[in-house]
Structure 1
Amino acid sequence: MEGTSYIELSKEAVENNFSYLNSLVGPDTLVSHVVKGNAYGHGIDTYVPLALEKGAKHFSTFDAHEAYKVHQVTDGKVPVMIMGMILNDQLEWAIENGIEFFVFEFDRLRECIKVAKKIGKPALIHIELETGMNRTGFEFDKLNEVLRLVHYYPDQVEIKGICTHYAGAESFANFFRVKAQFQKFKKGVKFLAKNNLKAERLHTACSAGAVRFPKSRFDMVRIGILQYGFWPSQETYIEKIKPVGIGDEDPLKRVISWKSRVMDVKTVNQGEYIGYGMSYLATSEIKVATIPVGYGHGFSRSLSNTGRALVKNSRVSVIGTVNMNLMLLDVTHVDGVEKGDEVVLIGNQGDLSISVASFGDFSDQLNYELLTRLPRDIPRKIVK
């Protein structure tokens, strides 16, 4: 049964973006494809097999539930790394199935050693250092205890990585804070190495870090938003591409398109209000198309009277209040709009496009927020 809207993922765009990423980081740096937040709204079940087909060699998730889904859809063919939440009672599954995970506090470290000893397989861990994000990670005064545990149980832990996370690498304003974190990370790695703890890989950079700070790439980068065709921020794009307005092309292509269909078309007389309340008054006779998508489907209510969509190769305005399941479009100046016509909410139609970034222009949503709020039950399909 088809839903009221659907999402298309472009195979060509994925291939293009992966090629750009590989040229950006070079052959010696592994790209870990971050698929948290249901693959940034693209859908783990649909996106991950496509990424695998196009050459992905490593995936990162936030929690064990996401890691389980990735492990299932890839048949365990590639490494999966949990960067955030894994409950103690999930550690046995992770260790048994070779799932990598961050360790940033002692309860998890001690428990994974205990579980690894019980099942006879080492825990594949990444030791996270606190360098200034002040979120998760071992403080430097705790590293001696980390060393003691790791060296005392060499058969129970395999150090796959040493890592940290930057506090806002996408913004110029955070430059000195990120630089300080980079230096602190190197100091921590050096201290651990002097005490006979070395990792298979060092990794600190997310999409913004990988673009803006080449030295932060080390052996692996954790790429989220960039692989889907979006820049972490306008600042990142400007700094990397340096557009001058003539001949500049975005090297990334958007993977996602979000589409629906016209449900109904009607004429509203001058002087009539449209939809709930009195937020929009028809100042002349207008033609209104009803679209079966609302805030319950991820189209923010804050886009009432401000949002845009594409219908019959024309850009049209959202009018009235966005409902839970419906929105209204002013199609007065678009000829021949009929029930069943395609409506593009994100993506291209003819020579026009609606970008995810444009939602930020009309609401308080970030790229990341809008994408990850797209409901999981919207059908997703791969197109050329």
Structure 2
Amino acid sequence: MKTFLKRAWTEIHLDRLKDNFTELKKLTDETHTQVACVVKANAYGHDDENIVPFLEGLGAKFFLVSNIKEAEKVRRCGSGSEILILGHTPAEYAAELAENDIIQAAVSEEYARELSEEAVKCGVKVKIHLAIDTGMGRIGVCVYDDDSCRRAAEQAERVSRLEGVILDGVFTHYASADSYAEDDEKYTEMQTELFFKTCGYIKEKGVNLRHTHCLNSAGGAFHYDSRSTLVRYGIMLYGLKPDVSLDMPCELKPVMDLKAAVSYVKQLKAGSYVSYGRIFRADHDITAATIPIGYADGYARNLSGKAHVIINGRKAPIIGRVCMDQLMADVTGIPDVKEGTTVTLIGTDGNETITADDLAGMYGTIGYEVICGISKRIPRVIYKGDEISDVVEYY
């Protein structure tokens, strides 16, 4: 069996990923829409070098990343699938994009021209997807009424004639598809209408697009539209909700657990203080366990005095401030806690569960940030079933 430093680690369960992928495919009419897997940010912290080949083995053929370095890494994984960069790539990388057969998001006609000019210099052609801003306010050609949709189509037509690029598709991104609020649902409907109106005008210009896509995770789950040729599943693929308030149309299983091992157990008298700033003072004798994980590992300092961990099937409150590399928990009354005892910070032990969304809610963020924030000091222990298939240590 592969060994690893049992200080703190994540467990990445590929069987859960398989189940999630299968469930998401059931939400999709694959005669019209292809399931695309978002693997940016090291597959949301899950280790892209393991996640990408596994998903390909399940039939995934389209991946999305944030930048060219991520795209090249996915390609080096042996991936023969399509790869789309959603973020910025300077035009000077045109040759690298073409050589690796990577599709680049184009944020504007001006950027497409810059990329085309550089590609022509290098004797290559770069595939692009032109971004249409229907209301996210982030990137893309802005559309907000019929006239602006027509102007966007004119820009797309001009881009399609550029010598150094191939206009392979257009896309937009929803701003509030993860909300049940009536005004948010109307906003999503408005974005959809503007996008496909623009696509229609592009088609009238004689431009044939292979891909027109608008669906993110929440879009695929709650606003599915068969006119979208791709559904870009990200957070749901890894078993988390786009928003914790949502009732999901399918069962999702969190792929990542976060664990550590107790490093020290001590008895503290009433009146003893714990950690920096002395914000915790024991009002009675307690047993405290030191756990070697902290905010440098991605376990947020804002969880100080708020979160629990699970030890031997029972929840134990964090006491005092979370330190850079360690935290302390009150394990009074929990039997058999000793050096080496496994601690669950995200996951299930016995009848107790702590989710990334639980932690996120304690300090005003989202589950995405929690799992993406687990640092590379933490090994990724990859499980297939009950067996360890790989251990990824970045240090």
Q: What TM-score do the two structures reach when normalised by structure 2? A: 0.89
Q: Deviations over 1:58-107 (max 9, x none)?
A: 1101111211111111x241111101111222221011211011112234
Matched with 1:177 is: 187
Q: 2:170·2:209 contact (CA, 8 Å) conserved in 1? A: yes
Whether contact under 8 Å (1:206, 1:223) holds in the other structure is yes
Which residue of the partner structure matches residue 98 of structure 2?
95
Asked if residue 225 in structure 1 is aligned to residue 235 in structure 2, the reply is yes
Give the match for residue 114 of structure 1. 117
What corresponds to 1:11 in structure 2?
14
Is 2:89 aligned against 1:86? yes
What does 1:256-275 correspond to in 2, within 5 Å?
Answer: 256-275=256-275
Q: Which residue of 2 aligns with 1:213?
A: 223
Instruction: Give the equivalent residue in structure 2 for 1:163.
Output: 171
What's the CA shift for 1:277? 1.9
Matched with 1:65 is 69
The Cα of 1:119 is off from its aligned counterpart by 4.1
* Partners of 1:288 and 1:328 within 8 A in 2: yes
Paired letter, 1:162: V
Show the counterpart of 1:331.
331
Which residue is 1:49 aligned to? 53
Could you say which residue in structure 2 is the equivalent of 1:316? Answer: 316
Q: Contact between 1:230 and 1:254, CA under 8 Å: does it hold in 2? A: yes
With over 3 angstroms needed to count, the CA separation of the structure-2 counterparts of 1:326 and 1:108, relative to structure 1, is same
1:163 partner amino acid: F
AA matched with 2:360:
G
After TM superposition, the runs of 4+ consecutive aligned structure 1 residues lying more than 6 A away are: none
- What letter is aligned with 1:197? V
Task: Quickly say closer, same or farther: Cα 1:119–1:89, change in 2 above 3 A.
Answer: closer
Residue 205 of structure 2 is aligned with which of 184, 195, 220? 195
TM-score by length of 1: 0.92
Paired amino acid for 1:78: S
* Alpha-carbon offset, residue 51 of structure 1: 2.1
The unaligned stretches of length 5 or more in structure 2 are 143-147, 386-395
After TM superposition, give the deviation of residue 255 of structure 1 in Å.
Answer: 0.6
Deviation at 1:235, TM superposition (A): 3.6
Identity %: 30
CA distance in 2, matches of 1:291, 1:7: 15
Distance in 2 between residues matched to 1:149 and 1:223, nearest whole Å: 28
Q: CA deviation at 1:11?
A: 1.5
Query: Within 2, Cα distance between the matches of 1:149 and 1:35?
Result: 28
Superposed CA offset, 1:324-367 (max 9, x none)? 11100111110110100111111122232211111023222210
Partner Cα separation in structure 1 for residue 377 and residue 343 of structure 2: 19
Find the aligned partners of 2:79 and 2:37 in 1 and give their Cα distance.
15
Note if 1:353 corresponds to 2:353.
yes
* Structure 2 residue matching 1:259: 3-state secondary structure: strand
Mapping of 1:285-296 within 5 angstroms? 285-296=285-296
State how far apart, in whole Å, the 2-side matches of 1:271 and 1:217 are.
65
Native 8 Å contact 1:210 1:216 kept in 2: no
**Residues 1:216 and 1:130: Cα distance change in structure 2 (over 3 Å):** farther
Greater CA deviation, 261-270 or 369-378?
369-378
- Aligned-partner Cα distance in 2 for 1:218–1:145: 21
User: Which amino acid letter does the alignment assign opposite residue 192 of structure 1?
Assistant: I
Q: CA RMSD in A?
A: 1.7
CA distance in 2, matches of 1:321, 1:377: 20
Aligned 8 A contact 1:209 1:216 in 2:
no
State the distance in 2 between where 1:275 and 1:104 align: 48
Alpha carbons of 1:357 and 1:145: their partners in 2 closer, same or farther (altered >3 Å)?
Answer: closer
Q: Distance in 2 between matches of 1:26 and 1:143?
A: 27
Alpha-carbon distance in 1 for matches of 2:176, 2:64: 19
CA distance in 2 between partners of 1:360 and 1:258 (Å): 14
Q: How far apart are 1:187 and its partner, in Å?
A: 1.1
Structure 2 Cα separation of the partners of residues 378 and 94 of structure 1 = 31
What is the rounded CA distance, in whole Å, between the counterparts of 1:67 and 1:41 in structure 2? Answer: 16
Q: 1:259 to 1:89 in 2, by over 3 A?
A: same
